[in-house]
Structure 1
Amino acid sequence: MNQKLNVELIITIPESQVIIEKLEFEALKKADLLGVYWSMVDLEKRIGRKKDWIKQNILYNPRFKSKLDCSTGGFVFYPKKKGEPWSMHALLMANFLDENFNDIFRS
Structure 2
Amino acid sequence: MQIIEITVPIQIPDNLIVIEKNLYKQLQENQEQGEWWTLEDVLKRVKVSRKTFSEKILNNHKYRKQLESFVHYPSRKGGKYYFLASETKKFLETNFKSITNGISGGNHD
Once residues 30 and 60 of structure 2 are traced to their aligned partners in structure 1, the CA distance between those partners, rounded to angstroms, is: 29
Question: 1:1-107 to 2 correspondence within 5 Å?
Answer: 21=21, 23-69=22-68, 74-106=69-101, 107=105
TM-score of the superposed pair, with normalisation by structure 2: 0.71
Segments of structure 1 that go 5 or more residues without pairing to the other structure are 1-17
The one-letter amino acid paired with 2:60 is N
Once residues 20 and 52 of structure 1 are traced to their aligned partners in structure 2, the CA distance between those partners, rounded to angstroms, is: 42
Shift of 1:27: 1.0
Residue of structure 1 equivalent to 2:7: none
The one-letter amino acid paired with 1:61 is N
Q: Percent identity?
A: 28
Once residues 20 and 78 of structure 2 are traced to their aligned partners in structure 1, the CA distance between those partners, rounded to angstroms, is: 44
TM-score of the superposed pair, with normalisation by structure 1: 0.72
Once residues 25 and 56 of structure 2 are traced to their aligned partners in structure 1, the CA distance between those partners, rounded to angstroms, is: 28
The structure with higher relative contact order (CA 8 Å, sep 6+) is: 2
Q: What is the total number of aligned residue pairs between the two structures?
A: 85
| CA distances 1:42-68 after superposition (whole Å, capped 9, x unpaired) | 001111111111111111111100111
The one-letter amino acid paired with 1:86 is Y
User: After TM superposition, which residue ranges in structure 1, 4 or more long, deviate above 2 angstroms?
Assistant: 23-26
C-alpha root-mean-square deviation of aligned residues, in Å? 1.7
